[in-house]
Structure formats: structure tokens, C-alpha cells
Amino acid sequence: MTRSPESSPLGTTQRWVLVLVAVALALGLVMLRGGIQSESPMEQLARRSLDPQIALNNGRPTLIEFYADWCQVCREMAPSMLELEQSSRERLDVVLVNVDNPRWQDLVDRYDVNGIPQLNLFNAEGEPRGRSLGLRSSEELQLLSAALLENQPLPPLPGVGSISRLPGPSSADSALAGTSSQPTAGPRSHG
């Protein structure tokens, strides 16, 4: 014996109410998870990020953030970084480099990344201007980007330092000092 819709324990009105409640719950979950766009701000930035070499050679100041997906501080800073990227597009390149991606190991080594988030700041000619370690507020990121865009000195913020180019020792100096030109083990080498 098959039941007809009329003999169902729920009436038509009750079924429609259940359908509407289910739809409302589904929409509520989507909104709680950040809307229909499921990418986090960090994922959006990483996806849209230029290759560092392109950014450093295109005539715009560049801010490179060394980050990791598991870094809570990096995730906390990501909405401010995304806001900065969106507000300064076509004037400043915001580039993300994941320290866990072997593709970027040469950059991690070259820029001596020992903690994250680390921001490396470059002028429009691709020359290093400074470095920032740790969490930066939206206001601090705006100050750093303004200094880069206006080719001004970096703001005196804790954890921000200028980078100067010191001449490296010559081979004769190294031989005299009894040192080799081999790189030393860094904190990330675990050596």
C-alpha cells in the first residue's frame, strides 16, 4: 500500500515551512563561512600575487610578505594586507611568498627569513628599502606603503628596519681572517 501525499504525517504547509527553514539555515552557514566566495583573504592575495621577480622589475614599489598557511599571525594580518593590495593596485605590488613552498627557498634564503610574517620593502627600482617583522595593523601597513610610494624614509615602527648595502669582504680579506666564502648555517637550517 502506497501512501498518497494527502496521507503524509506532514501537511503541505508544514513541508514548505521545513523547506524554508532548511534554506535559511544553509544561507546562514554560507554567510558565517565568509559568503559564497570561500577563499580567505590570504588565499585571495596568494592567488592574485605577482611573481616576485616581475614585481621587482616593473617600476612599482613592492612589498613582499613571507608567510605560511599555518601562521595565525599571518592570517590575522591578511584582511589588512588584502585591503592594502586593493587600495594601492597599479601603484604598489603586494606579493605573497609561502615559506613552505620549495619553489621559493632561494628567496627565503636570500632575504634571510627567520620569522613570519616578514615584510620586505622595495623601492620602484627593486632595491631593498627595509624589513618589517611581526604583526602589522592596517594603519601601520598604510604608513609603510605611503613611505614606499612617496620614496620617503620608513616610519619608525617597532620591528621595522632599513636595509643598507655594506660591501662584502674581498676574497683576500676572507683569507686573511681565516674565513671561507661558504655561507654559514642559519636558524632555519637546523644545522
Sheet holding 128-133: strands in order across? 93-98, 62-67, 118-122, 128-133, 160-162
The residues assigned a catalytic role are 71, 74
Rounded Cα gap, residues 120 and 30, in angstroms? 36
- Which residue, among 46, 106, 53, has the nearest Cα to 71 in the 3D structure? 46
Phi, psi of 92 (to 5 degrees): -140, 135
Residue 35 grid coordinates: 559568503
Q: How far is CA 124 from the centre of its chain?
A: 20
Rounded Cα gap, residues 191 and 184, in angstroms? 9
Q: Would you state the torsion angle of the CA atoms of residues 129, 133, 134, 139, taken in this order, to the nearest 10 degrees?
A: -20
Q: Do 188 and 114 meet the contact criterion of CB atoms below 8 Å apart? A: yes
